[in-house]
Amino acid sequence: MIESCYGHLLHVPEEKEKYKIVTAATVEGESTDGRGFAKAMATKGLQACESLVKRYGGRYAVGDLPSIADVCIVPQLYNARRFELDMTQFPSLLAVEANCAQLPAFAAAAPEKQPDAQ
């Protein structure tokens, strides 16, 4: 069973300043077209996830049982490949992805298994 809880950090005054709105103009060193922006944001997000998974992960993102974190991370890795990110910088996430791929639910949900896949 997967459990999650919703909490929007931007509604917590002490947390609000930690999270800035990011626009294409704030992505230093990247082209400001949609692809460059998406690639830069995916890289930053996956770097943060990699750090957390290294710290708290086990077989899966937050231990030895699958969680909502895995459900969220696996599609992001698929998306990162679409934008040709260097995946070697995310070894912990790749290990989680490989473990998830062994589970029937994840295998059935793979994009290439969907009826509209081309």
CA neighbor of 49 nearest in space, from 70, 28, 67 = 70
Q: Whole-angstrom Cα distance, residue 74 to residue 100?
A: 8
- pLDDT reported for residue 9: 46
Tell me what the mean pLDDT of segment 17-28 comes to: 55
- pLDDT reported for residue 30: 54
- pLDDT reported for residue 77: 96
Of all helices (H) and strands (E), which one includes residue 49? Answer: helix 34-56
Q: Whole-angstrom Cα distance, residue 14 to residue 43?
A: 26
User: Does residue 4 register a pLDDT over 60?
Assistant: no
Q: Whole-angstrom Cα distance, residue 95 to residue 60?
A: 8
Residue 47 contacts residue 89 (beta carbons within 8 Å): yes
Q: What length is written for the chain? A: 118
Q: In CATH, what number does 35-111 get? A: 1.20.1050.10
Domain ranges of the chain: 35-111
Provide the sign of the torsion angle of the four alpha carbons 16, 27, 33, 40, taken in this order.
negative
Higher pLDDT, 110 or 99: 99
* Whole-number percent of the chain with pLDDT over 70: 71
Confidence of residue 14 (pLDDT cuts 50, 70, 90): low
| 42-97 pLDDT, tens digit each | 898 999 999 999 999 899 999 999 999 999 999 999 999 988 999 999 999 999 99
Residue 2 contacts residue 67 (beta carbons within 8 Å): yes
Q: What is the pTM of this model?
A: 0.73
In one-letter notation, the amino acid at residue 95 is A
How many CA atoms lie within 13 Å of 22's alpha carbon, on the beta-carbon side? 12
Higher pLDDT, 91 or 40: 91
